Amino acid sequence: MLALSDTDPPLRACRLCGRSCRACRHGSGAGHCGAGTGITLSSSLIHHGEEPPISGQNLSGSERGSGTIFFARCPLHCVFCQNWQISQAITGTKNPTRASVSHRESHPEELAGIMLDLEARGALNINLISPTPYVPQIVMALRQAKTAGLNLPIVYNSGGYDSLEALRLLDGLIDIYLPDAKLAPESKASSTEDDLLAARLLGVSNYVRVNRTALWEMFRQCGHLRLDERGVACRGVLIRHLVLPGNLARTRQLIPWLAENFGPDLCLSLMAQYQPLYLVHNRPKDFRDLPDLSRTLREEEYDEAVDLAMEYGLTRTFIQELASAGEYLPNFTRRKVF
């Protein structure tokens, strides 16, 4: 079995996410996210609900699907997290509704085998969801899987709160970055300052600063999204943004910044699937001063975001139908997640 060395720098003083908690994760230690030297896996499956270039939605049913691996735990604590059953419920944070969710501790050798199995089942790519706490282990697994013949694009699907150190460990191993850009600052002047709204919604006050540095590094490594002859993504960056009710994600500020920094070739996914889940649902009194959080997105709010993307020349933007927003929400208490 592959094992991480006790002198492994990223895990000896963990700096994989923007928290840079510097926890020693060896032995019985764990980072702020709760991760140690093992890999906490939730599920793996062929997923058909990602963006068309990732899931191959233009292909026939038998040829479609992203080889998705869900990791448990997360460095962020988004109060509306749709994956809260695996991202928050096992981290040791206070959680009012712990569900019975299957997860297990794994290791790089087993993770490599899961990747190879997904390839054998016809996956278009290997899609690593919420991988940030496990970057060193993922690097080991990818190297072993590639040595064993893995020949699929690797998708790094994160909340966009990855440190430069983590991303540089991945340089040359990741083909497609699929990060979130969850929030913009109130103004250009405040883009490097601590943000009280980010601290409230995401659990970290420095999200924007870390996110923007991460996005630039991802583009340095992989550039704009490129598709093969089938319309399937083979390399590049696709940025996701969840539009929140009441412009709480500051979408009006984010889209111009994205256009200014990455230009018209940027691939952007504007997600309309916001639901008042997790703490917003279970502790409504805590968010009385943010009443928009307690409702779903209105059609005119989403249309405004789409129109803004078009106004700024971001024509490579994927959009969702509001009526189908619930279809994108997972339930990790079921064997069939989607």
What pLDDT is recorded for position 53? 96
Helix, strand, coil proportions of the chain in percent (round to 5)? 35, 15, 50
> In this prediction, what percent of the chain has a pLDDT beyond 90?
73
Mean per-residue pLDDT, 305-333: 86
- Give the SS3 label for residue 324: helix
- Give the SS3 label for residue 24: coil
pLDDT band at 195 (very low <50, low <70, confident <90, very high): very high
What global pTM score does this model have? 0.92
pLDDT band at 159 (very low <50, low <70, confident <90, very high): very high
Mean per-residue pLDDT, 8-20: 85
Q: Is 104 left (phi over 0), alpha (psi -120 to 50) or beta?
A: beta
Is residue 1 over pLDDT 80? no
Is residue 285 over pLDDT 50? yes
Is residue 94 over pLDDT 70? no
How far is C-alpha 72 from the geometric centre of its chain's CA atoms?
12
H helices of the chain, where? 9-12, 52-55, 84-87, 108-120, 135-147, 164-170, 196-202, 207-222, 251-262, 278-282, 299-311
Evaluate whether 213 touches 164 at the Cβ level (below 8 Å). yes
The pLDDT tens digits of the residues spanning 98-129 come to 444 567 789 999 999 999 999 999 999 999 99
How far, in Å, CA of 216 to CA of 123, rounded?
28
Beta strand residue intervals within 72-195, DSSP E = 104-106, 126-129, 154-157, 176-177
H helices of 90-244, where? 108-120, 135-147, 164-170, 196-202, 207-222
How far, in Å, CA of 319 to CA of 333, rounded?
28
Please provide the average confidence, as pLDDT, over all residues in the chain. Answer: 90
How far, in Å, CA of 124 to CA of 54, rounded?
8
Q: Which two tokens stand for residue 205?
A: 């006050």
Evaluate whether 319 touches 296 at the Cβ level (below 8 Å). no
What pLDDT is recorded for position 59? 81
pLDDT band at 279 (very low <50, low <70, confident <90, very high): very high
Is residue 6 over pLDDT 80? no
Is residue 307 over pLDDT 50? yes
How far is C-alpha 117 from the geometric centre of its chain's CA atoms?
22
User: Which of 219, 220, 198, 224 lies closest to 209, judged by CA?
Assistant: 198
How far, in Å, CA of 35 to CA of 298, rounded?
37
The pLDDT tens digits of the residues spanning 63-84 come to 789 999 999 999 999 999 998 8
- Give the SS3 label for residue 241: strand
Mean per-residue pLDDT, 23-38: 84
273-to-9, 11, 101 alpha-carbon distances in Å? 38, 35, 22
Q: Which residue did the predictor score with more confidence, 101 or 144?
A: 144
